[in-house]
Structure formats: C-alpha cells, structure tokens
Structure 1
Amino acid sequence: VDPEGSVSIIDLRHGVANLTQADVRTASFAKFNGRSIDPLIRIFGPNATVSQDLEPEYIAVSDDSRIAWVTLQENNALAIIDIANANVMSLRALGLKDHSQPGNGLDASDKDDAINIANWPVYGMYMPDAIAAFTIRGQQFLITANEGDARDYDGYAEEERVKDLELDPTAFPNADALQENEAIGRLTVTTAQGDTDGDGDFDALWAFGGRSFSIWTRQGKLVFDSGDQLEQITATVLPDDFNSTNDENDSFDNRSDNKGPEPEGVVVGVVNGRTYAFIGLERIGGIMVYDVTTPSNPQFVEYINTRDFSGDAEAGTAGDLGPEGLTFVSASDSPTGQPLLIVGYEVSGSVAIFSIEN
C-alpha cells in the first residue's frame, strides 16, 4: 500500500517538550484526487491516487514565513503551501530539459572509457531533491539541486536502459546507432513516460535528473538552469575521476549512464553583500559555488572537493564522500565571525566546516 504524501506543520511556540498532537496540522494532497492536473506532473504509481503518488521531499520557506515550497521529486513537480492554513494551494510541473540543445549536453555512457559530454535526443526530468529560497532586490527566488530519482520497489520498477527499448522509427531514424553502448544505449530512462501515442514503442526518452541546478520564480517558472556546467567543470578539474561513484575510488565514468554527478543539496548565503549558492554533488563529491546575485546569470566561483581519490573508501582514508546536507552560517551567527558552510557526508560519515574568508 502506498500511503498518502503530506506535509506537517508543527507549532513550537510552547516548546518541544510540551508538544501534543494538537500542535500538528497536516497539509494534505487529497483534494487533488480526481482532479485534472498538468500531465507533466508524473502520476504513475500502480493504482495510486494523486495524493498517494505525490512524494514530498525538501521544503523552503518564504522570508515572511507565509509560503512553503515543497519539491515532489519523483513527480518532477513543486507544491506551493499556505502555511497559516496548512493548505496546498497549487501543484506546478517543472517540465523537461532538452539535452539536444547546445549547452545542455550530458555524458550518457559508462562503457566508452572517455569523457563525452554531448547533445543527445533525450529529455531530462529536473526532479529536484533539495530546494532553498533567497531574495534579491525584494524579489524571492527558488533554487533547486536537480538530482533525479526513480521508483524501484517490489512489484514495480520504471528504469530501463535505452538499448533495451523499442524506439519509434520516425522519432529515432538512427535508433541502431543511438542504442550502442558508446552512444546512449546504456543511459537509464523511465518507461512510465515516452510512448506518447500508445503504440508500444518510445517516441521520446526521459532521463532522471537535470545534472544541474536551477533557479525559479516563486511561482515555479524557470529563470536559469546550469545546463551541462557541472559535468563540464568536474571534467576539467578531475578528468581522471570524472563521474565517479561515491563509495569506490578508481570508478571513472561509473555514473555517466545514471544521473552523472547527482547534485543533491543546496543552500544560499550572503557574503560581503553578494549572494552565493553552494551545491553538493552526491556522487563525485565536492561543493560547487556560484554567485547568484543576478539570478538570471549566475557565475561559477569555485569547486571544492575534499575527497581523496588515492584513498580507500572502505578503510576510511578517502576523505569526505557523498555530501548530503548543507547549512550556511552567516558571519553574524558564526562563532568565528566568518561565514561558515557546514556539510554532512553520508558515505564517509564525516562533517566538514568550511570558513568563507573572502
């Protein structure tokens, strides 16, 4: 049985020790059952209602604490919640990223022994994990880490490799070449979408995650997407370890067929009057730093990776592996007087504290 997704709002005014069930209100998605919703919101679980199918993941809250934005990762959507009334006001489809367009390339093969970031006839579902809110000149924006996630459990699995699908000959006249391992044959895509005319073959290919971060308006309209920058940067900085997985060194190209670097966490902070985003890459590791003071045109600042690719992950000598949660501490709240970034690494079981000094 798939339980209904929901968001709880807990009143802490009387202190944690005095909490009762009366302090908990639940924003339910049940009102969307039976309603017509955007077809790009993925509702596809076997025999599931809309409220059962929606899967809340991360939450960001507006400056005035009136609105919460909740990522619905597997559904590739965003929920907008009225906090005071514990009411889900709307669901917003996040849409698709066209990997055939310049600047939106991806490395789709883990079997070519090479870095090959290229354009392919594939759509990426953003499917964000973490989300954060920030304000620029009085206007609120959202930023998401577009990790991607598939459904795979007893009785249902949506993932399949492109080489194992029947591709529509009109949509993919070069299907044989595309389905080679060195092309996109190894790429994992969903079987829940893509057969647009219902004839049993695939007219479009939808891959998991955007391999990027995105900036959105508070209404969920796309302002900026980093395209293939995260893969391009890691390819330049760590060419021998490109698209490595997070629990094994000597794993070059291991994740190219499945979500790449997997941007997982994101936080935003202000340093010396500039607004910066810090994006954690779950697989290859490390933190991407971008100046997002101009939300429509973020600028790459640096890539910090405290992983030791010469070490042994199982022996605990490979440094920090698998960044998961990130917290920014402003200079005014910092015990050192300097802004701090605190990162928890789920694979290595470590915590790193970075001092931001300039």
Structure 2
Amino acid sequence: MTCKLVAMTSVIAISAGMANADAFNRISSFPTFLNNADAGEESSAEIISATADGMTLVYSDSPLGVIGLIDITDPANPTPKGNIAVGGEPTAVSIIGNTAFVGVNTSESFTNPSGMVKAFDLDSMTEIAACDLGGQPDSTATAPDGSFIAVAIENERDEDLGDGRVGQTPGGFLVTVDVADGTLNCDSLNVIDVSGLADVAPEDPEPEFVDINAEGEIVVTLQENNHIVVANKDGVISHFSAGAVDLEGIDATDERAALIFNESQPGRLREPDAVQWIDNTHFAIANEGDMDGGSRGWSIFSQDGALVYENGTGFEHAIVEVGHYPDRRSDAKGVEPEGMEFGVFDNTPMAFILAERSSIVGVYDLTDPTAPLLAQLLPSGVGPEGAVAIPARNLFVTANEVDLIEDGGVRSHVMIYQLQDADPAYPQLTSAGADELIGWGAISGMVADADGIVWAVNDSFYGFQPTIFKIDTTTTPATIVDSIPVTRQNGDPAQQLDMEGITLDGEGGFYIASEGRTDRVIPHAIYHVNADGEIQFRDGEIGLPPELMANERRFGFEGITKVGDVLWMAVQREWADDPANHVKLVAYNLETEEWGAVHYPKAEPSTGWVGLSEIVAHGDFVYVIERDNQIGGAAVTKKIYRIPAAEMVPAPLGEALPVVSKEEVRNLIPDLLTLNGYAVDKVEGLAIFPDGTAWISTDNDGVDDSSGETYFWSPGQF
C-alpha cells in the first residue's frame, strides 16, 4: 500500500477531492479504568510506548502510580493486561524489546527533587533494575539501536513562587544510562550539564523532552528557557534559542465567548515542549509555550540551529475549521501543540502533532521537511498527551490524560488508529473552503431548507457571538459555507441568548428558540430574525406568558418547529407543574398569539436525567430527540421518536394537558460508535428535508472538558 498524501490548503481536500485515499482512521478506544481494580478510581494515560513486536502498549498513569498495559494483538479490540506499581509518580515510559524503562518521580519537594529510572520486564511484570537519577525525571527516550536511554531531569519549578518563573534552583540536567542484556547498567549513568547555555535563566535549565537519533545524538528542549540543546554521551554538541514567531490572524482574547481571528501577537516565544528527530539532521518541535510564549504551532530545525520550517498559524487555523478551537484558551496558548510523534509509513515520513487543549492530532507528510503537507486531523480523547507510531502494523496510538470521573464526564482513553485504504472518516463537518476563516462549535438546533442546505445555531457557550451557520450537506464532509451573526436592530450582537432551536419562517428568515437562565438574566423566549440575522422590530422577541413562567425552571426550550401558523417548542426537562418523566411540548399561534401545550412521556433515567433536545415536524409526524446526559458506556437513551401530528392538539395553559404517544424511530448509540470512539452525551440537532432525508448533529461543548468532536451525519430517510 502506497501513501497518497497530497498538498492541500485545508483538511477537506483529502476527503472531498480524492477517492480511496490512504488515511488513518480510528479503529478502537480503550478506557484506562479497565486496567483498574477499582473502576471508580481516577486514572490517566499520559506517555505511551509499544513493545518491539507492536502487540502491547504501555502507558504511564500518574494518578495511580503505575504503568498500564494493553494487549493489542487485535488492535480493533484491545484488552487490559493490568497495571504495574512503580513506587512513585511515573513521568514517562520507553521500551526496548520487552523491557519498559520508566522515569519515576520521588521528589519530596521542589527544592529537594529526586527520582529513579526503573526497568520492568513486561513478561513477568516485575522490576529488574533501578538507577538513582539525582533529580526529578520528565521524559525518557531510547537509542534506536537499543544501546542506551536518555532522561531529561527537569527539576521543575514551583509555579506558586516568583510569579511562577524560572530561575528556581536546583537546575535540571540530562542523563544517559547504558542498556545491556535487556536491563540498565547503573554504573554507566552519565550526567550532561546543560546549565549556562540559555539566555533565559541559564542557571536553572528545565529539560522537558528528549529524543535520540540513529547516530546516538540527543536533542532536548528546555521549554521554560526557550532553548534547544543537541548532545551526545560525551557532552553538548550545539545549542541555540528556540526563537520567536510573529502571529497574525489569531484569537488572543479570552474575555469574550466568541471566535474572532483578527488579533496578533508579535514576537511570541516558541517555548517548545515535545521534540522528535525526523532524520539524523532535522528535528521538529511542538511549541506549546509556558511562561511567556507558545507560538500555537510547530517548527523544524536543523541541529545547527537553522530554522527550516515554521508552521505559523496553519495548524491552528486548520483546527478552527473543524470546530476544535478551544476558545477559553485564547489568551493563553491557543490550541497548545504539546506532544509529538514521528514514524515512517510506507516510505512516507510523518509527523503527528498533538494539540492538547483541542483534543486533536495533525498528521503531516514530511517528505520535504521544508514544506510539510497537512494530510489529516484525527479526533482524539480529551487531552492527548503522548503518542506512539507502530509503522510495521500501520498503527498510530494516542494516550489521552484527562479523566473527568469526578464530574461524571468522559474517562481517560487510549485511542488506536490504522492506516487504511479508505477516505478519512473525520471530520464530518468543516468550514474549510469558505471565503473566510469561520470558527464554530457548540452546534445545537438545526433545520433543513432546500438544495441540501441545513441551517444550524450555536448555543450560549459562544454567548457573545450568537450565530446561524449555513451548512452544505451535498459535500463530503458537510461544509459550513457561511455564518450569519444574530444581531439587535442597532447591529450589536444579540448577547444573552442561548439558541437551542431554529426553524424557517417561510419568508427567508428564521424563528429561534432560546433556552432561558433567569439566574443569569437570559430570558426564555422565541426570536424572529430575518435572513441577515437581525432580530425583527415588532415580533422580534416573544416572551413566555405568566402561566409558563410561574413554573419555569432552568431547562427550557431545546428546539423549535413550525406547523402552519403554530410554533412548537420542546421543553428539555420537567418544570414545576409537570408530572414525573413528562415534559411539555409548547405551542404558540403566531396569528392569535395564544399559547398551549401537550405532555410528552419521556424515559425514566437509569442515571442522571433524560430530556428532549430537538423537535422537527415532517409529514404526518413530529420528531423529537430524547437523550440522557450520560457519556461512554453509561449512555442508555439517545433516540429519535415520532409523535402522530394528529395528536399535537394543544390544550390551553392551566388546563390538564393531553399526553401524546410516541414511536421509536432510531436508536442513535450505534451511530455514535461508528467512529470507534465513545458515545458522546449531547445529541442536539435534527433536520429533515422534504424527501425525508435526515441529518443529525452533536454539541461539542465548545471543546471545554470535551473531546471537541462534532458528529454530523445522515441516517438516511425517515
């Protein structure tokens, strides 16, 4: 199989412009709690490596103080192999053959750092050697010939002191240890001094990430010092500043919940984290940043310090286009490229750039290191921290460190991808190819129009930028071709809206349902906007009547549809006057201005809550999305039901409401698992064209404690 990676200006090109392009697709996801004796304990896959045969994955798990093992003999069905306690905090793991070499932090304080490098036989799952490093280890790397390992001794600073800045002694250093007969030779431990080199805090170097090329040369990043060192076992060969980048066309402000890419940051220090040799002369760095920097991209240097490639904002803008931009990190480090991996697949050198806060991986073809080509963006779990390439098996793996068990969210996962003779399965929605850069996320309500166009709205996550998106569903992936800001009559953004539903008004404009939060001065209301997104003067805001407001609760309208002169809105959850497991479908007659409602019987939740998140009229039925708030294996209810339109006869408010019947149309959980991740919780959008073709979408929560993945798919005709 030959890789057919091509040059492109946007990710959409590989799937829309090519047939049967070789692509990485996710084939499985492994929640790390499967290795735990107690599934309720927090665990975290951070740095990951693979055995020489590519059949076992080993990851560091800091919360549990272990390394975890996964059997990937069948990579589409990974199975747990258990944990090995390491006697401290594992910071990194590297493997030679079937022996895992683990950096273990045993520090009692920032001023008295200590640590070990330990060797574990993975067959017997026992410790076979341990060397005292004399400081706190961060990353580890193995020489390609297996003759030695290198360890970056960070001796990290106390971020609560001195405004969190270096220098804070003791400074870090670099260590090498020889490997023989599958274990460590502690007598060979060699310390390489990297102090006095950087312009920034030269007395306090903090080595962050390390890698070794085929000539035994070691490259190490000093992230906080914005410096790079190249060494061998005899000492430093070269060193130089990582430099700075002038950034244009970025969102650098976190004060507003809006995606506005018209700002700049001149002279932004790279402050690199991960580093990987891509040949014996060049290496790539991921410019996450720390104290003063983070250039939001990645770079390639030669070992003499010459810059041969600078990504600038290319990586970040590609992430914006697929809806993964983490807006709440705008004033910090944006998408935060942190981790990195390199591998040669079918003679094509590839770099994998991990954007920690965007939960996505960029795949670049490095055939020409002076002009890398973006081939794909891969969806990952929350917080990809480490990765390993296994070219002999056409596999790539990410370790995703965030475990949200305390918040009832998604758990830490290891995700496995395979290079296939197929098109990319992700993204399913993109704004690539639009006339200008369109940032998007938190898609909620939708409505079908004509000629394959679906209109969608974002919710209150982007409260300063309420927007209607025009989506062309005739492309693959579907494409956001335009965005329309929702404004007041004076042209200002219509803040304090939580848009959860949209429907056509029949005259080129829209009706929008806003879910209220009276505790945040967000009204429960319906808004009438024209084709330009401007709220209309006379009937622009339709507030709820006293009969409804007397019993309102936070969870209000989560969809809107129009039947003749009547608007129907689905209330997400029970209000004060509703029977248990019944919610209102509220009607408003645009001609008579009369309100009414029916009751809808929803499922009783097994855990958490169940509610409605969309309503769409089509033919002889009214369709609703009914979902629970559970994620992953805990998800039970993610379904589409339909109600006979003949039963949608509203009773006046204050009277006993009729209860409509429902019929299950589709269980959405199998659909949510087709990308081989986990079932996300927020299925929120449904649009149905006149021929019955349906489109469904999920809300990615603005990439905040979320993987950022937006599923946008058609199940066919209803």
Asked if TM exceeds 0.5, the reply is: yes
Structure 1 position 72 matched with structure 2 position 212: no
1:357: which partner in 2?
A: 420
Structure 1 position 141 matched with structure 2 position 282: yes
2: distance between equivalents of 1:5 and 1:344?
26
Asked whether the 8 Å contact 1:105–1:227 carries over to 2, the reply is: no
1: distance between equivalents of 2:289 and 2:416?
27
Work out the percentage of aligned pairs sharing the same amino acid: 30
Residues 12 and 323 of structure 1: CA distance in aligned 2, closer, same or farther (over 3 Å): same
2:368: which partner in 1?
A: 294
Q: Which amino acid aligns with 2:334?
A: G
The match for 2:273 among 123, 129, 146 is 129
Asked whether the 8 Å contact 2:275–2:285 carries over to 1, the reply is: yes
SS for the counterpart of 1:254 is helix
1:187-336 aligned at under 5 Å gives the runs: 190=292, 208-238=293-323, 242-243=325-326, 253-306=327-380, 320-331=381-392, 334=393
2:210: which partner in 1?
A: 59
Alignment deviations for residues 182-230 of structure 1 (CA, whole Å, 9 cap, x no partner): xxxxxxxx4xxxxxxxxxxxxxxxxx11100111112221111111112
Asked whether the 8 Å contact 1:340–1:355 carries over to 2, the reply is: yes
1:105: which partner in 2?
A: 249
Q: Which amino acid aligns with 1:276?
A: M
Deviation at 1:76, TM superposition (A): 0.6
Structure 1 position 6 matched with structure 2 position 173: yes
Residues 301 and 15 of structure 1: CA distance in aligned 2, closer, same or farther (over 3 Å): closer
Unaligned residue ranges in structure 1 (runs of 5+): 44-49, 151-189, 191-207, 244-252, 307-319
Q: Which amino acid aligns with 1:261?
A: V
2:191: which partner in 1?
A: 26
2: distance between equivalents of 1:15 and 1:289?
33
TM-score (normalizing by structure 1): 0.65
1:82: which partner in 2?
A: 232
1: distance between equivalents of 2:286 and 2:265?
23
2: distance between equivalents of 1:300 and 1:112?
30
Residues 140 and 29 of structure 1: CA distance in aligned 2, closer, same or farther (over 3 Å): closer
SS for the counterpart of 1:235 is helix
Deviation at 1:106, TM superposition (A): 2.1
Deviation at 1:121, TM superposition (A): 5.0
Asked whether the 8 Å contact 2:287–2:336 carries over to 1, the reply is: yes
1:175: which partner in 2?
A: none
Alignment deviations for residues 261-295 of structure 1 (CA, whole Å, 9 cap, x no partner): 10011111112221111111100101111111111
Alignment deviations for residues 123-163 of structure 1 (CA, whole Å, 9 cap, x no partner): 2111111000012xxx621011110112xxxxxxxxxxxxx
1: distance between equivalents of 2:200 and 2:236?
17
1: distance between equivalents of 2:367 and 2:214?
17
Report the RMSD for the aligned CA atoms in angstroms.
1.8
1:114: which partner in 2?
A: 258
SS for the counterpart of 1:264 is strand
1: distance between equivalents of 2:208 and 2:265?
29
Structure 1 position 42 matched with structure 2 position 200: yes
2: distance between equivalents of 1:54 and 1:134?
25
Highest RCO, 1 vs 2 (Cα 8 Å, sep ≥ 6): 1
1: distance between equivalents of 2:307 and 2:350?
18
Asked whether the 8 Å contact 2:301–2:308 carries over to 1, the reply is: yes
1: distance between equivalents of 2:261 and 2:351?
24
1: distance between equivalents of 2:318 and 2:182?
46
State the number of aligned residues: 246
SS for the counterpart of 1:112 is coil
Asked whether the 8 Å contact 1:117–1:232 carries over to 2, the reply is: no
1: distance between equivalents of 2:176 and 2:325?
41
2:451: which partner in 1?
A: none
TM-score (normalizing by structure 2): 0.33
Asked whether the 8 Å contact 2:325–2:334 carries over to 1, the reply is: no
Deviation at 1:105, TM superposition (A): 3.2
Q: Pick the structure with greater CA Rg.
A: 2
2: distance between equivalents of 1:98 and 1:282?
22
